C-alpha cells in the first residue's frame, strides 16, 4: 500500500503549529521560551485578540517534538495552552486545502494537481521530494524552491588545442612563419676530430724453442 500511495500523491507536511488559550498579554518571547528545547522557530504570528498564535518551526521534526513531548503539559505564564497542527502559510485559502489531514498535519496532493508555484504553496511546510513525479524530483528542494544551477556545475570552457603552426591559430600564438625563423643567426661551431690513437708496436716474436 505504501508504494502505491507514494506513486500517486505527494505528502506536504506542515511545520506550523497552532497555539490556543494563550494568556492575554502573551508575547513572542514567552512562546520561544516555552518550546526552546524542541528546536528553532522561524516565524510567529501572534493574534492576541483571539488568544492564539501560529508558530512555524525550522523543521518538521521540531514541530513534531513540540506536539509529542511538550504539548500535553505546556504552560505559558503558568497557564496551560493548547497546541495542534496548523496548515502552513502557503496552504491557507488554497484550492488544495481540501486535502488537509488535521490529525497527521499534512496534505496528500495528487500528482495531477500539483501547483506550478510549489515554493509559495510549501511555505511553512516540508515537501517530500522523493514522492514527486520522477521528472520533477531533481528540480525542487524540500521547501518547494527550484534547484539553482551553480556556476561550478557549468561545462568548462573549450580549450584551443590547435597547433601554433596551424593557419587557424589565433593572434596570441606565434606566427607560423616567424616561428620557423630563428631570432639570431646560427653560430657554426667548429668540428673537433679526436686525434687518432697511437698503434702499439707489435709484440716480439716468441722465442724459438
**Rounded-to-integer distance, Cα 26 and Cα 19, Å:** 11
Per-residue pLDDT of 20-43, as tens digits, reads: 999 999 999 999 999 999 999 999
CB 19, CB 110: distance < 8 Å? no
List the domain boundaries for the chain. 16-85
Q: Distance from first CA to last CA of the chain, Å, rounded?
A: 118
Residue partners of 52: CB distance under 8 A and separation at least 6: 18, 19, 20, 21, 22
Residue partners of 204: CB distance under 8 A and separation at least 6: none
CB 122, CB 144: distance < 8 Å? yes
Distance set, CA 42 to CA 16, 32, 54, 55, 121 (Å): 10, 10, 11, 8, 17
**Per-residue pLDDT for the chain (209 aa), expressed as one digit of tens each?**
444 455 589 999 999 999 999 999 999 999 999 999 999 999 999 999 999 999 999 999 999 999 998 988 899 999 999 999 999 988 776 678 889 999 999 999 999 998 888 888 899 999 999 999 998 889 999 988 988 765 555 544 444 444 434 344 343 333 333 333 344 444 445 555 555 554 444 444 344 33
Q: To which H or E segment does residue 56 belong? A: strand 52-57
The CATH superfamily label for domain 16-85 reads: RRM (RNA recognition motif) domain (3.30.70.330)
Q: What is the pLDDT of residue 96?
A: 83
Q: What is the pLDDT of residue 181?
A: 38
Q: Which three cell numbers stand for residue 162?
A: 590547435
Amino acid at each position: 500500500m505504501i508504494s502505491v500511495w507514494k506513486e500517486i500523491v505527494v505528502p506536504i507536511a506542515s511545520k506550523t503549529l497552532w497555539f490556543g488559550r494563550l494568556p492575554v498579554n502573551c508575547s513572542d518571547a514567552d512562546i520561544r521560551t516555552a518550546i526552546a528545547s524542541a528546536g528553532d522557530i522561524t516565524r510567529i504570528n501572534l493574534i492576541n485578540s483571539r488568544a492564539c498564535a501560529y508558530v512555524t518551526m525550522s523543521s518538521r521534526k521540531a514541530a513534531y517534538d513540540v506536539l509529542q513531548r511538550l504539548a500535553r503539559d505546556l504552560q505559558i505564564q503558568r497557564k496551560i495552552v493548547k497546541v495542534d497542527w496548523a496548515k502552513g502559510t502557503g496552504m491557507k485559502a488554497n484550492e488544495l486545502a481540501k486535502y488537509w489531514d488535521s490529525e497527521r498535519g499534512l496534505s496528500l496532493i495528487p500528482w495531477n494537481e500539483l501547483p506550478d508555484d510549489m515554493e509559495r504553496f510549501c511555505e511553512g511546510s516540508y515537501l517530500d521530494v522523493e514522492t514527486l513525479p520522477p521528472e520533477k524530483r531533481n528540480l525542487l528542494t524540500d521547501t518547494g524552491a527550484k534547484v539553482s544551477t551553480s556556476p561550478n556545475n557549468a561545462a568548462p570552457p573549450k580549450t584551443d588545442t590547435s597547433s601554433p603552426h596551424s593557419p587557424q591559430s589565433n593572434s596570441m600564438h606565434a606566427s607560423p612563419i616567424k616561428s620557423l625563423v630563428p631570432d639570431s643567426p646560427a653560430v657554426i661551431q667548429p668540428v673537433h676530430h679526436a686525434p687518432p690513437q697511437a698503434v702499439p708496436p707489435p709484440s716480439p716474436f716468441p722465442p724459438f724453442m
